[in-house]
Structure 1
């Protein structure tokens, strides 16, 4: 089975899982985690196989925009599914799984990248750490959106709708900061591995990504310090989380979009 067929199968399972969760929220019914985890697991398995076949080909490793977008969303979906085994995060599939579907569709019909050669072990470690950090921070951004919605509804005394099926706001905020702590720790390791294994982090084709990543790291570090010593929470935490995640996404994909689409 080729990468396109696997991608289409993954899209079907992603759509089924996201639709099921959306209908569950609309009906205010109890969440059946097992159903979503099985559908999501099937989607992620096919997604991962599709990414593998698209990236590792006979002429070398393909690390273009479509491949990296698909790899990143695979990592995000996988981290979300793993987290759902211990934490109440399955509501996030409504946003995360459609994002993975969009990435797969772009991988199917997007531009074909040229091979970049084979990866050294150190560079592979840097890529894996970067993907894990990126995934945790994007999941944190989706969690921040839910916290913002919940915070707004509580302040305006709206007791109907999505707020009825979400955990208490204190639990949601604690989960948000747990995601940020894990993401910042992994991002720190990713930056450190880049210092050791990349020839020059400030080379022309890396300088924008490096600066934006460091800015994102600083934003999240300030947020955690503010939460620890100044009691930052609520909408302050939401704004800093979304801002830091935006910088990370811009650094991760901005240069590839410019080089492969805008300047092509």
Structure 2
């Protein structure tokens, strides 16, 4: 356990250094290499801590805290990969601190009723698709927040500081819908595999998760259709993304909080 504490603390420190490096890159024009190195170190350390927290005697243990850490790690990993080619580095000002906090949460949030079971490959595929979808849609939600701040900044005064280094609004909106489109595709696959491979998807302890996930899917589907058919953008796009993402958070983490920590039930 002592090793896990050290791993988590080092990961949080590395993410903090990465956040500072992102700010220096955008505000002072320093090279982006320190961001890549510090964030990469944080990702490796958090992954090692997750391996120690979630794998025990050949079984998978996923409680509320470890689920938070896992989703944040995957979103941070996608950001790290995208930032090698795309102009999304500014998202690290939000995503890397969130990853640090969630890494600590994975250590501190109790896990009395987490899963301790060997899962069949179809269920593992469903979980993997869900994690990937959540990661992409998390980045989409962060992108929506940054885009909203960029809109507000442009309405008040000429962009300055970090905002002056961001790509144009049109480029930021295009990137937003790329993230949402990819996340929506994976979410669709996750819901489809859940319907195929999970027995009684609308059982009492799964109903809230299933219904809220479907509502989130409908929100993202409507948003993408509106973008394609009517050219939706700006505040409407931002609000749609955030509404869909909040529904997803409620679907997984809200239901998991109530079931595991209050009712003593469990689902993966």
- What is the TM-score when the length of structure 1 is the normalising length? 0.94
Whole-angstrom distance in 2 between the partners of 1:206 and 1:4: 33
Taking the TM superposition and a 5 Å limit, the aligned residue runs for 1:102-117 are 102-114=101-113, 115-117=115-117
Matches within 5 A, 1:25-64: 25=26, 28-30=27-29, 32-58=31-57, 60-64=59-63
Preserved contact between residue 15 and residue 96 of structure 2 (Cα < 8 Å): yes
Structure 2 partner of 1:17: 18
- 1:185 deviates by 0.6
Q: CA deviation at 1:103?
A: 1.3
The within-5 A match list for 1:111-190 is 111-114=110-113, 115-190=115-190
How far apart, in 2, do the equivalents of 1:159 and 1:103 lie?
Answer: 31
RMSD value, Cα: 1.6
Q: Which residue in the other structure is 1:4 paired with? A: 5
Task: Write out per-residue CA displacement over residues 55-77 of structure 1, whole angstroms, 9 at most, x where no aligned residue.
Answer: 11027321110111111111111
Q: Report how many residues are paired.
A: 262
Whole-Å Cα distance in 2 between the matches of residues 20 and 85 of structure 1? 15
The C-alpha deviation readout for 1:221-246, integer Å capped at 9, x for no partner, is: 10111111111101110000111111
Deviations 1:176-217 (A, max 9, x none): 010011000111111111112111211111111111111111
Aligned position for 1:217? 217
- Deviation of 1:167 after TM superposition, in Å, equals 0.7
CA deviation after TM superposition for structure 1 residue 262, in Å: 4.3
- Mapped to 1, the partners of 2:97 and 2:156 lie a distance apart of 29
Q: Distance in 2 between matches of 1:59 and 1:119?
A: 11
Contact 2:68 2:102 in 1 (8 A): yes
Give unmatched runs, 5+ long, in structure 1. none
> How far off is 1:31 after superposition?
5.2
For 2:68 and 2:239, the matched residues in 1 are separated by 25
Give the structure 1 partner of residue 254 of structure 2.
254
Q: Aligned equivalents of 2:167 and 2:58: distance in 1?
A: 49
What are the superposed Cα offsets for residues 20-73 of structure 1, whole Å, 9 maximum, x if unpaired? Answer: 212444xx2225222111111111011111111111102732111011111111
Unaligned runs of 5+ in 2: none
